[in-house]
């Protein structure tokens, strides 16, 4: 390819040009706004260089919400294209790019950061720690994720997006355009960030719990993150290697996934799903953790079957690694292998069922309070169970020959991911919003949102089960009228539009609550049960003035009802890490490095590679012992917080 040809969009359309203009204008507006309000220094000191887990968490949240809308626009465009037969809104190439980026953005750049936001914001507070084990590594994790996501997002404007599906199977991902290069390299950069997060949080949870908090006294959300971190550490290196192989095939002409010289395209499918299947449990287990917290809080009961909840999560995490081949039952791996993977897949329904029953039994005889987070959690149970049941249907390998590659499958995984993960994220967002910002989101708008999303979800995805069983293939950009798929797809489009209204309502809710919500809510507005609600709102940067002492898995509840003393002893000086600009700058270099590799610009690629090693060298020699917060300063902050 000619040099400049690589940067051109392979299949330009009006929509792409319009979004380029929109992106350009947004960038100009941000730069102008920061300059006009003289906020560059503030941005740098308080956010870009921060190592505070709460702020890093909030930055993850902002990224996740932005990506939710990017992925959502992709979704709407797909449903609009399929709403009527023989539609010409999108051409086939554009459609391919949109379903690919929708999948990648929603899983890796929306759901993952949303979960890591909860990890960052909640876990240290919930275990009574001052920060994570490696605060600076945590900042690096965030910025690597962010740069990876941004790199992936510019693909449709510079060079063209990946178009081989979010699974990017070879030989489809042959790298004829630069889209597949983007896929391999942008996900690699973000993936390294995620791996570091996993290591960081496993260490944090195992080593930094408050005195008295044994493993079996950890709140359920922390348990879910502990197990998620283990899955991350075991699954993400597989992705790293698979993406490295893919990159080398595309850039250096190796023969891993080629069709001749011994290459093996199925190897990609195996490696991808050895990571990809555990990945969906990386998404769902923290969601289960959040539901457990929320359901026990608003049922005003302790969680039923704590030990079986932990046990089922451990079992799910183990099973998640032995089911990957159910993603290609029909690709000729033989009846015996199919049977094994079929049975292990169905086995996952057992521990998941245990969890569902535990939640139901927590609600049983509970004094249920229908707040917005609780509404999401209650809607989740039947909707998610429906998705679980269709999952068992898909797990039957013989029957899968009928469903595979149809809309039935699309309906199934959206049916588990939307009520399972997205609802949990929104429930958790509403639940933890007061802890973050000191005011509640509006309950009335929140409940409207929950109902709109649920109704929209049912309308959008249930029809897909039907058209899927009738044979509507997925990834097909249009269909003829004679298939009879038209009306059902129109219903789907209407459902998607209702969901879009729901998501816009979230933005309106934030705007409305910023303006009108009461700021006088105290530290514990939900009358909750765990430690994160025991400190002030907003949380001081050292989290707890005195390290709490814990005697049960519901430490705050015990303190409130049984008179357990959480905070004992005098203030002592607190050791805190220093801010650093290096994670941000280093990740910017990673961005340039990724861009250079994608377009085979070898000289910048070499320079940035060297620069990355120079940063690591500097880090090796650096002396940074952090700083101390004096007792007087803690006293001042504490009395001010109590006064307010």
Binding residues for another protein, rule: CB under 8 A, are 133-134, 195, 198-200, 202-203, 206-208, 233-238, 240-242, 244-245, 248, 252-256, 258, 260-264, 267, 271, 274, 575, 613, 617, 620-621, 623, 625
Please list the alpha-helical segments (H only) found in 51-178. 53-82, 92-104, 112-126, 135-153
Contact indicator for 414, 462 with CB cutoff of 8 Å? no
- Considering the complex, what minimum distance in angstroms separates the CB of residue 65 from another protein? 29
- Considering the complex, what minimum distance in angstroms separates the CB of residue 203 from another protein? 4
> Could you tell me which of 498, 507, 504, 537 has the C-alpha nearest to residue 520?
537
- Considering the complex, what minimum distance in angstroms separates the CB of residue 64 from another protein? 24
Residue 386: count of CB within 10 angstroms of its CB: 19
Cβ-based neighbours of 141, under 8 Å, separated by 6 or more = 116, 193, 194, 196, 197, 200
- Considering the complex, what minimum distance in angstroms separates the CB of residue 201 from another protein? 10
- In angstroms, the first-to-last Cα distance of the chain is 64
Is the CB of 255 or the CB of 483 nearer to another protein?
255
- Considering the complex, what minimum distance in angstroms separates the CB of residue 595 from another protein? 22
- Considering the complex, what minimum distance in angstroms separates the CB of residue 327 from another protein? 17
Is the CB of 198 or the CB of 219 nearer to another protein?
198
DSSP 334-345: -HHHHHHHHHHH
Cβ-based neighbours of 621, under 8 Å, separated by 6 or more = none
Residue 33: count of CB within 10 angstroms of its CB: 10
Contact indicator for 461, 411 with CB cutoff of 8 Å? yes
Q: Which H/E stretch holds residue 242?
A: helix 220-252
Is the CB of 19 or the CB of 203 nearer to another protein?
203
- Considering the complex, what minimum distance in angstroms separates the CB of residue 234 from another protein? 5
Strand partners, 574: 629
- Considering the complex, what minimum distance in angstroms separates the CB of residue 627 from another protein? 12
Both tokens of residue 636?
């001042």
Cβ-based neighbours of 253, under 8 Å, separated by 6 or more = none
Is the CB of 7 or the CB of 613 nearer to another protein?
613
On the 0-12 / 13-18 / 19+ scale of CB atoms within 10 A, 318 is middle
DSSP state of 629: E
Which value, to the nearest 10 degrees, does the dihedral of the CA atoms of residues 502, 508, 513, 514 take? 140
DSSP state of 406: B
- How far, in Å, CA of 177 to CA of 376, rounded? 42
Is the CB of 493 or the CB of 590 nearer to another protein?
590
Is the CB of 37 or the CB of 621 nearer to another protein?
621
Is the CB of 208 or the CB of 280 nearer to another protein?
208
Is the CB of 253 or the CB of 643 nearer to another protein?
253
Is the CB of 263 or the CB of 305 nearer to another protein?
263
- Considering the complex, what minimum distance in angstroms separates the CB of residue 467 from another protein? 38
- How far, in Å, CA of 534 to CA of 568, rounded? 13
Question: Of how many residues is the chain composed?
Answer: 644
- Considering the complex, what minimum distance in angstroms separates the CB of residue 75 from another protein? 32
Q: Compute CA 583 distance to the chain's CA centroid, rounded to the nearest angstrom.
A: 21
Is the CB of 265 or the CB of 585 nearer to another protein?
265
């Amino acid at each position: 390819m000619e040099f400049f040809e690589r940067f051109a969009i392979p299949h330009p359309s009006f929509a792409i040009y319009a979004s380029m203009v929109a992106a350009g204008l947004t960038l100009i507006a941000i730069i102008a706004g920061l300059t006009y309000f003289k906020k560059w220094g503030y941005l740098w000191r308080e956010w870009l260089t921060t190592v505070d887990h709460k702020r890093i968490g909030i930055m993850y949240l902002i990224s996740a919400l932005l990506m939710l809308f990017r992925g959502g626009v992709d979704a709407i465009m797909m449903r609009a294209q399929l709403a009527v037969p023989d539609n010409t809104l999108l051409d086939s190439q554009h459609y391919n790019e949109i379903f690919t980026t929708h999948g990648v953005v929603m899983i890796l750049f929306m759901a993952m950061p949303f979960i890591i936001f909860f990890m960052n914001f909640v876990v240290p507070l919930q275990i009574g720690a001052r920060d994570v084990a490696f605060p600076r590594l945590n900042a690096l994790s965030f910025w690597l994720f962010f740069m990876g996501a941004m790199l992936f997002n510019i693909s449709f404007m510079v060079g063209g997006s990946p178009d081989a599906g979010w699974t990017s199977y070879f030989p489809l991902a042959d790298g004829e355009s630069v889209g597949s290069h983007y896929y391999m390299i942008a996900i690699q950069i973000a993936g390294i960030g995620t791996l570091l997060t996993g290591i960081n949080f496993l260490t944090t949870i195992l080593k930094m719990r408050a005195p008295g908090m044994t493993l079996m006294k950890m709140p359920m959300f922390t348990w879910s993150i502990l197990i998620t971190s283990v899955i991350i550490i075991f699954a993400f290196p597989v992705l790293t290697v698979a993406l490295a192989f893919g990159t080398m095939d595309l850039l250096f002409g190796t023969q891993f996934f080629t069709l001749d010289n011994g290459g093996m395209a199925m190897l990609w499918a195996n490696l991808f799903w050895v990571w990809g299947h555990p990945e969906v449990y990386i998404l769902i287990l923290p969601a289960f953790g959040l539901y457990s917290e929320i359901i026990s809080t608003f049922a005003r009961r302790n969680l039923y079957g704590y030990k079986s909840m932990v046990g089922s999560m451990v079992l799910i995490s183990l099973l998640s690694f032995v089911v990957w081949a159910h993603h290609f039952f029909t690709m000729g791996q033989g009846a015996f292998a199919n049977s094994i993977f079929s049975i292990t897949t169905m086995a996952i329904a057992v521990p998941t069922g245990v969890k569902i029953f535990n939640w139901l039994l927590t609600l049983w005889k509970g004094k249920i309070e229908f707040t917005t987070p609780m509404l999401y959690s209650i809607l989740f149970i039947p909707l998610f169970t429906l998705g679980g049941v269709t999952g068992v249907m898909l797990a039957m390998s013989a029957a899968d020959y009928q469903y595979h590659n149809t809309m039935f499958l699309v309906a199934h995984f959206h049916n588990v991911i939307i009520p399972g993960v997205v609802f949990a994220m929104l429930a958790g967002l509403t639940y933890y919003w007061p802890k973050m910002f000191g005011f509640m989101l509006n309950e009335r708008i929140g409940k409207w949102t929950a109902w709109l999303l649920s109704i929209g979800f049912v309308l959008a995805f249930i029809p897909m089960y039907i058209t899927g069983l009738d044979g509507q293939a997925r990834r097909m950009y249009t269909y003829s009228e004679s298939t009879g798929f038209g009306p059902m797809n129109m219903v789907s489009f209407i459902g998607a539009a209702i969901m879009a209204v729901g998501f816009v309502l979230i933005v309106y809710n934030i705007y409305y609550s910023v303006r009108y919500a009461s700021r006088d809510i105290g530290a514990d507005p939900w009358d909750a049960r765990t430690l994160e609600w025991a400190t002030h709102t907003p949380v001081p940067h050292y989290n707890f003035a005195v390290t709490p002492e814990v005697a049960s898995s519901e430490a705050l509840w015990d303190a409130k009802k049984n008179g357990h003393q959480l905070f004992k002893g005098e203030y002592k000086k607190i050791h805190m890490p220093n801010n650093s600009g290096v994670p941000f700058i280093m990740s910017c270099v990673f961005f340039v490095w990724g861009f250079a590799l994608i377009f085979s610009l070898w000289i910048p690629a070499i320079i940035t590679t060297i620069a990355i090693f120079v940063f690591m060298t500097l880090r090796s020699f650096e002396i940074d012992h952090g700083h101390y917060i004096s007792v007087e300063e803690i006293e001042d902050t504490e009395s001010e917080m109590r006064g307010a």
